[in-house]
Every structure is written in C-alpha cells, then in structure tokens.
A and B are shown apart, each in its own frame.
Chain A
Amino acid sequence: MNERFKIAIIGSGPGGLSAAARAAERGVPHVLLEAEDHLSNTIYRYQKGKFVMDEPGILPLRAPVPFKAGSREEILTAWDEAAARLKINVRLKHEVASIKPLAGGGFEIKCSNGQTLAAEFVVLGIGLQGNIRKLGCPGEDLPFVQYQLDDPDEYEGEVIAVVGAGDAAIENAVALAKQNNVIIINRKDEFARAKKANEAAILKAIEDGTIECYYNSAPERVDALSVGRKKGRMILNTANGKAQILLDRVIARLGATAPRGFVEACGVVFPSKDPAAVPAISSQYESNVKGLYIVGALGGYPLIKQAMNQGYEVVEYILGHKVEPADEPLLKAKFAAMPGFRNVEEALARVQKNVRLLAHITPLQLREFMLDSDIRTPKPGETIFRRNDYTNTFFSIVEGEVHILIDEQRNQRVTLKRGEFFGEMSLISGRRRSATVLAGANCVLIETPRRSMNRLINSVEAVKREIDQVFILRAVQSRFAAEVPVEQLAEVVANARLERFKAGDVLFHEGEIADCLHLVRSGSLTISRNIGGKDVVLSYVPAGNYVGEMALMGESRRSATARAAIATETVRLDGESFKKLVNRVPVLRLKLQSEYRQRAAANLAMQAAPEGGDIISFLISQGAGEATDILLIDESLCVRCDNCEKACAETHGGTSRLDREAGPTFASVHVPTSCRHCEHPHCMKDCPPDAIHRAPNGEVFIADNCIGCGNCERNCPYGVIHMAAKPPKKPGLIQWLLFGRGSGPGEAPLEPKAKQAATGKKAVKCDMCKGIPGGPACVRSCPTGAAIRISPEEFPAYAQSRR
C-alpha cells in the first residue's frame, strides 16, 4: 500500500519549503518531494557567495522559514536548519514523474525512482528552471559526471569530455580547453543551435586542434575505473562505430526540460502558447485541477519572498482557514486614493465591474495586477501624458473620462469614458506616445507598468483579443480620421488583420502586384530597391508609419521592397476596401499623393548616393533597427583618448557602461558596445523585481531595486549590461591634487575589489545620463565631436551627411 499524506509538496524552493514548513508547524501529514539531493536547487545553483536580495522591500515576510537578504550560503544554511528544526518530512532525490487524480479524490504521485505515494492535495512549487537533462545512459550519476561548471580554472591537466552542443557546452569547453584536454561530444553534425560567436569559437578551436570533437555521437555508458590513471571511461556510439574515451571528468550541458510539459501533463491548462504565459490560478492558488495548487515562479511570482508567502498561505487555504493575503495592507494603501473607498474586496469588485478588459481575469491575477499598478485621480484638465513622451504604461478608466488630443492645433479631441483604456499604442510599439491625454471630470485611472500588462496580455487570450481590436480601430482612425469620417472607415477596419514578420522577412517585393498596405505596429522596416543588381536601402520606417499605400493608388506594382529590420508586427489593411475608401474621399487621395512626393524625393536623393544605403544596411545589421538612440563614433575623428569612457565612469559611480573600442566599424562609422535603448528592451524581458524601466525621454534604466540576478545581462544581445559593485567614493579634486587621497578624475578606482564582497553586485547599464542636465556625458565629453547619439529615424540623413 502506498503512503498517504494530506499534502504533497513538489519542489523545495522558497514556495515549496515554506508550504512544507507551515504544514509541519500545523502538524499536517505532509511530504516534500525534491528531485535533487539538496533543498532549493535553483538557489543552490547560484554561484558561490552570490548575494541574494529580498525585494520587494515593502512586502512583509510571513513564513515559518527565515529569509533576509544575504549570501547564498547564509540563506541555504538557514533553510536547512529550519527544515531540520520543524521536522519537515523531506524526501530528496524524488523526482516526480507524474501526478494523476484518483477516482475517490486526491492524487497519485509517481516518482521516477519507482516510489509511488498518494496525497489529498498537491502543491506544485517547481519553479521555471526545469530539471537538468542528464546523460540518459548508465553511469550518469557517477561522481565525476557533473552537470554544472562554476569555475573552469578549477581544473587543470585533466581529460574532460563535454557533452552538448549549446552555448553552455561550448562556453565550458572553450574555457576548460585553456588548461585541460577537452573533447566535445555533439549528437548532431553541426553547432547550429549556438550563438554565432560561440559557434565560431568552437569551430575554430576544433580546427586549431585545441578541442577534439565527436560529431554524430552519443554516450552509451560511463564507467568508473579503479585501475589506471584515469577515473573513468566513456563508451560512445559514433557514426563509425563505438569509441572509448579515458577521462577524468564528464561535464554534460544538455539544457533543462521546461516544466511546462510536465505541468500540462498534470492536467493544468495554460491560456496561450506564449512561453511567458502562466497557468490561471484562483485567489487561493488553486489551478483548474481541483486540489492541485501552484505557488511561486510557475504561477507567475518570481520573487523569493512572494513565493514564501504563498507557500504559507496555500497551506492555510487547504486547511480551510481564511488568511488575509500578505498584500492586503499594500492594496489598501493603493486604493485609499480612490473616492468612495471602503475595503479592498469592494474596490476590486468595482474595478472589475467597470473595466471590461479586466473582467476576463481571475481574482488573484487582479490582485497582482493592482499591486503592480497605481491608482491615479488626476484633476480635470491635468495632463496624463504628453505626445512624444517615451512612457509605456497602460491606463484603464475606472471612473470618469479622459480626452485624447488627436490634433493639437485644431484642438480635435476624442473622449474616452468609463471602462475604456488607452496607452496601448506605446505599449505595443515601444515608441513615443502618439497623442497627449488630458483628464476629464471625476477621473479615476489605473496605471499599469509595461511588464504586468504584457504578462496579462500573454496569459489571458481575451485581453489580448480586445486590445488588438481596439488597436486596429484606433490606428486606422488616427491616421485617416482627419480626412475621413469615422463611419466610412468601418469597412477598412473590419478587413484589417495582424501579421508578424521575423527580422529579414519581406513584406512585399519590388515589382509585385499590390493588394494591401501595412501599418507598422511594432518593429521597423527598411525600404530598398534593386539598383544594378544590388539591394540599396533607401529608407527606414519605424513603428507607427504606413507602407505600401502608393502602389494601391494608380501604379499597381510595388516600387520598392519592404523588409522587416527586426521582428515586426503590422496591421495589414486590405487593398480593395482601401481603394474604395480613397475613391470615395478625394481629399485623402490628395494628401497621400503629397506625402508620396516627399518620400519619392528623399528616396531619389538616397539613390544618388548608394554608399549611404550601405551605411544604413550596416547599422541595421548591427541591430540598430530596434534602437531608439544609438551611440556612433566617427573613427576619422576619434583620437582614442577614451574621455567618453572616463566621463561615463565618473558620472556613474566609477563603472563605465560603454566600451569604446569594441564593436564593428564600417566606413569609419563605429558602433561601440553601448546601450541603444531598444524599442522593446530585451533586458526587460525577465527582470524578477521589475527594476528596468523606460524614462519619459526614452532612457532605459535600471532602478535601485535590482536584485543582481544577471538575467538582463544574459538577455541583452548587445552585451551592454554587466554586473558591478559600487566602488569606493572618490575624493574631491583639491583633496586628490594636494593630498593624493584616492584616485583622481578619470582614473580607475584604487581598490575596486576591496569593498565588493560586502554589498553584492547589481546590474549596470547606460541610462543616457538621465539625471544630468546637458545630456549624455560620453557625447558631451568628446573633445573632437566623434561621439554622437542618434535615433534610427535620422539614419538616412546621417548616411547622406557622410558622403
């Protein structure tokens, strides 16, 4: 007979551990199942001595297990102690293979080590890291077979087999090859999965003979050897038969199995295919499978403290107790500004009743949404945001109304009423606000940051659909409403649809017959023509603009090729209905024609100087297409004094966020390694404390609540973020000059390492000197004017100026 428990907790991370601890405290029969041979694998795998932060600071911790900011070791020790003290029923090395609901209620849990047990309730706290993929052959757990490499310099003079063909495997192999004899084992015949730079590095190492490679090979088994000088041997299945390698160590970097498949197999439904989607859970953390609860990162709460609180709460809920959620006081403070506020419950209900968009989401999602959001009650006439601001928050109207100034000169306004929303344009395009918005009477708004809104859009299909529909309608209206009455646009709107393009995809080719036009919704395009057998880039089209309408009006063939410069989304307007519209409204035709003439003239100027097009192509190939502001250095002016780097370090706590020398150069135009403040910043993608924001002037910056996890550093494709500790304070000019205290202006700090250990590193990147009047220090301190910052819209003019 299987063992039976009331609660089975799967995963011993912050959420799971806290739940188990609470269950133990309450004396509930429970079991904590952990796949690894230690608790909290995600934190266990942090590098040694890593400083773990405890954001958000305002949230109180409520868990029987202690947690405060400190080093990885301190935290793990405290947790191990707590687990022992509370006598938590931990089962290590119990990887759960399946969870099946039983007919009479409860669940049957099968572990991959053959054990089976039963539980009334299941709490899933397995996080998002997934289980590390093992070798999958006999000997995969031998002591010299490892799945992680902290410090490649630790090993010397060994024979090491690295298994895998991804970035991690390549980086490990190349780093180890400096002092070891490295053999890399690749199941395939190429390294196509890796980043370009890594692929080049490994192929070069193989060619140089510093690394030996077995292609099309897989390990058959690993044996420990008791005689001879090597610890073990690996038998390989290769394309030409079996091979034997005598070795000291095996490092397998085969990635991890994403937990989603497992979670779905348990019956939990994800709302969309988007990898960022999280399963819908109730306000008591229960999933769609009755009795199956989800806490922590898997449910969309990536911070340690959140997860621990949920672990505590979930056990209380299972036991049928009511607990006031830990965030209750925070929400109360938020809603206090709302007129007629009585209690949180009622306020939440009011929000959900008034705002149709939020009617689709679960109470728990709404709480989380409100925690991230702000309630704003602007006075009538107050500006909520201005046209050309770079903010990207999203607003929902709970009460009252707002006015959108579509045309400031003519004071043309559109009024939005209770239940509607605005701000979606900048959220989607990542570009400046397209209009100014003023508050109307009795206005109560919810302002939601980009990340929370994107998470909601990705998790709740209905929200996405509604926003997309409104987006299309407004995009068409804002472009044509000045000339065309709104009713006449209905047909065009009805026939519009969204299309996605990958970087380099072609929207339409030169010479094709035109059947549609595109509004660029996010991303950007290049327009090019084939001149003398070569594609010459003529212009750059950022989000918010139309392409392809000219060919629809008269000349029926495309005069140029439109290509996505980066991943791009467009609203495709059907050609037929657009033609009808133009025929009906002669003013529109005239306006389009005059715009076309301007564009054609600019294109002609570019065509006269095709080298300019080469510069644009070069910049686009460097990813400048998604930039909003990029630093360019003219190497024919740059005297390599590095004053830009010094200025950057001096104005930003001693760490330069720019590497002048690194980066490619074309026709003297140098793109240094420096932040280009992307439209959709890659760094924002996965920031647990949501510390990366965009300032009103477009600067993407990292706030002080950074926890130093390094996700942004990894996610940035341009390598412009790094982790740094605050260096010691510098002395004033006079003190330095007369008394020689510390290091002088522009000099590196004297002991950068001395104080690092205590404080922990945080991510640093360019913030375009947003706090400093006069603009970016790098540009202002360039003595020869070699450093400039421009936005992609200026590329054509810039390219022409460089003839």
Chain B
Amino acid sequence: MHDSILTYAKSRYLWVALALGAGALAAYLWHDPGGPPNGGTWLGYTLGTIGAALIVWLMWFGVRKRSYAGGIGTLRGWLSAHVYLGTTLILIVLLHAGFQLHWNLHTFTFVLMLGVIFSGFFGVYAYLRYPTLMTRNRESATRDAMLEEIAEIDQNALALADGIDPKIHALVLRSIQNTRLGGGAWTQLRARDGSDLALASLHEAMAAREQRKEMATSEMPTMFAMVDFLAGRATDKQGEAMRKLIDLISRKKALATRVARDIQFQALMEVWLYLHVPLSFALLAALIGHIVSSFFYW
C-alpha cells in the first residue's frame, strides 16, 4: 500500500532502466565502428537520440507534476521512472560519446548533465531520509502549534518576570526580542502564501540557523543571570516564580530548537531543487547547442 518511489510497483522502472543500460552496453561492445567509438557513428547517433529524448522526457516531469487534473499514470510512477531512467542517462551518454572527453561544448553539456543528475541523487537521499526525521522531530505537533506555544510562553514568561523584578523583566523582554529578531521569518511562515514557499523556507532556514546561534549566545546568559539571581537575593516567593520562569524559558528554547530543525529539514528537502531545475534548463540549452554544432562536422 505505502511504498517508496524506489520500490514502486516492485521496482518496475529499475528493471526498465537496467534493461535499457544493458542493451546500450551490449550494442556498444558488439558494434565495431572501425575507429575509436564516437558520436558520429550510427550507434553514436542512436544513443545520442535516445539520450536527448530521455532528457526532454525527464524535464517533462515538471509539466506532469503540474497537470493536476489529468496526465498518464500516477505522479509517483513518473518520479520512480524519473529517478531510474535519469540515472541510466549517465551510461547512455558516456557510450554515446565513446568516453571521449575534451575541453569543448560537448563535454560541458555532459558536465551540466552530471550536475543535474547528482543534485537529483541528493534529492532522492533527502526524500528518503528527512521525512522520518521531520516527523520524529515534531512529536505530532504542527509547526503552527509550536509557534503558537512559543508565543504563549513568551507572554507567560513576561507576566511572570513582571512580578519578580524589573531587571528580570527587561532581561526576558530582551531575550524575546532577540528571538523574534532572529526568527523574523516566522511571520512569513505563518502566512504560507504558497507562491514561493520554497524560497521563503530557504530564508527561514538561514534565519533559523542564525536564530539558533543567537539563542546559544543570548538565552544562555539569560539563564545564567537568573540562576545568579536565584542564588543571591531573591525572596522565597520570588524564587518560586524564578524557577517557573526558568522552566518556561527552557521549554521555549527546546521548542524553538525544534521549529528551527523543522524548517531546516523542509529546506533541505527543497534546496536541491534550486540547483536541479535551473541546471536542467541550462542543460537543455547546452544540449541544443551540442546538437546544432554536431551538424557542422558533416
């Protein structure tokens, strides 16, 4: 019922990809071009055509992903095929070129392709690894719920601090402001406009990382200061309130760390696309150049 893109339909597309790769390899070994193997032989042209068609088809995934109402098959099947056939492309293109690499446009196209494919590999890794980590990190709370709780803790902490000492109040206030400053992207997050969510999340991940750094420097002193205060001149009642306050701020710190993690995981699952997709368009351009220039060899 639930299975990953790699095991989809009993790994049907793994076998398709293996068959394609094995076929190409067999043809390459069997074929005798009467010189060094290259893209100019009939086999070279055949493999090149297959490769180019594959690239166009792989890029078509972006369109398929957005054709919500129709399209052949399930998106999951497409992705599974996308991953396996995309990987086979390395072999097919190498065979197409007869392993000839030089400082020219053709090799540049190849390097771009490798860039696309390897960024895709990271994507596969991210898709397999981070969802579970993300679920575990969230502990069944939603991100909004965690953010709300943080805001609430801030309120309560301020109220508590107010009753203790103006100094402590200022301290807590500053710590809250610092957290806000670092996590200014939170507000953006809550809006979730969806149009460039990925980009926003990237900003957020960076912001969150900064925020974590800041928490390491700003929250700890808050706590130390309070512990000092506790040990020093506080009355019993104030001590009680202080202990509560420390609990609250520790809880908030844990929550903030979790939110930052959450944002980070999401960003990791999306960041590679910012390489993968532009590179693939660059590849398409280079590919057109490669094909056009090939005709001048004639």
Contact = CB atoms under 8 A, between A and B. Distances in A.
Interface of A: 208-209, 632, 634-643, 646-647, 650-651, 661-662, 664-665, 668, 670, 733, 743, 745-748, 772-774, 777, 779-786, 788, 790, 794, 797-798, 801-802
Given A637-B2, A783-B65, A748 B194 contact: yes
A747 B195 contact: yes
Interface in B44-83: 65-71, 74-76, 78-79
B4 A640 contact: no
Interface residues of B, number: 39
B135 A783 contact: no
Given A733-B66, A748-B194, A784-B76, 18 more contacts: A208-B152, A634-B2, A639-B127, A639-B130, A640-B131, A640-B269, A642-B194, A643-B65, A643-B75, A651-B68, A670-B135, A745-B66, A746-B66, A746-B194, A747-B195, A781-B68, A785-B4, A802-B2
A785 B76 contact: yes
A784 B4 contact: yes
Contact of B4 (A637, A651, A747, A794): A637
A668 B133 CA distance: 11
B293 interface: no
Nearest to B74: A780
Contacts of B79: 783-784
B68 A646 contact: yes
B142 interface: yes
Given A640-B131, A785-B76, A774 B266 contact: no
Contacts of B283: none
A662 B142 contact: yes
A785 B127 contact: no
Nearest to A633: B2
Contacts of A748: 193-195
Nearest to B142: A661
B134 interface: yes
Nearest to A748: B194
B131 A650 contact: no
B5 interface: yes
B28 interface: no
Contacts of A643: 65, 75
A640 B193 contact: no
A230 to B, nearest CB: 24
A580 to B, nearest CB: 44
**Which of A774, A777, A780 is the most central at the interface, judged by chain B CB atoms within 10 Å of its CB?**
A780
A662 B141 CA distance: 9
A786 B75 CA distance: 11
Given A745-B66, A748-B194, A783-B79, A636 B132 contact: yes
B3 interface: yes
A786 B74 contact: no
**Which of B135, B269, B270 is the most central at the interface, judged by chain A CB atoms within 10 Å of its CB?**
B135
B8 interface: yes
Interface string B117-138: 0000000001100111011000
B75 A783 contact: yes
A745 B130 CA distance: 26
Nearest to B79: A783
Interface in B266-284: 266, 269-270
Nearest to B159: A209
A777 B69 contact: yes
B129 to A, nearest CB: 10
A772 to B, nearest CB: 6
Contacts of A784: 4-5, 76, 79, 127
Interface SS, B side: helix
**Which of B8, B68, B193 is the most central at the interface, judged by chain A CB atoms within 10 Å of its CB?**
B68
Contacts of B1: 788, 790, 794, 797-798, 801
A632 B255 CA distance: 27
B132 A783 contact: no
Given A636-B131, A637-B131, A640-B266, A746 B68 contact: yes
B290 interface: no
Contacts of A797: 1
A635 B197 CA distance: 20
B100 interface: no
A360 B132 CA distance: 61
Contacts of B75: 643, 780-783
Contacts of B2: 632, 634, 637, 785-786, 788, 801-802
A158 to B, nearest CB: 20
Given A785-B3, A801-B2, A639 B76 contact: no
Contacts of B140: 664-665
A651 to B, nearest CB: 5
B156 interface: yes
B209 interface: no
A779 B135 contact: no
Contacts of A802: 2
A639 B195 contact: no
B253 interface: no
A637 B75 CA distance: 14
A746 B131 CA distance: 22
B143 interface: yes
A801 to B, nearest CB: 5
Contacts of A745: 66-68
A772 B69 contact: yes
Nearest to A771: B69
A777 B64 CA distance: 13
Given A638-B131, A664-B140, A788-B2, A651 B69 contact: yes
A325 to B, nearest CB: 45
A328 B195 CA distance: 54
A747 B194 contact: yes
A591 to B, nearest CB: 31
A650 B75 CA distance: 15
B142 A785 contact: no
A273 to B, nearest CB: 41
A642 B156 CA distance: 34
Closest 3 CB pairs of A and B: A650-B68, A785-B76, A647-B68
Contacts of B266: 640
A208 to B, nearest CB: 7
Interface in B83-100: none
A715 to B, nearest CB: 25
Contacts of B156: 208
Interface in B1-47: 1-5, 8
B144 to A, nearest CB: 8
Contacts of B144: 661
Nearest to A780: B74
28 contacts: A632-B2, A639-B126, A639-B127, A641-B269, A643-B65, A650-B69, A662-B142, A668-B132, A745-B66, A745-B67, A747-B195, A773-B70, A777-B68, A780-B71, A780-B74, A781-B65, A782-B76, A783-B76, A784-B4, A784-B5, A785-B2, A785-B3, A785-B74, A786-B2, A794-B1, A797-B1, A798-B1, A802-B2
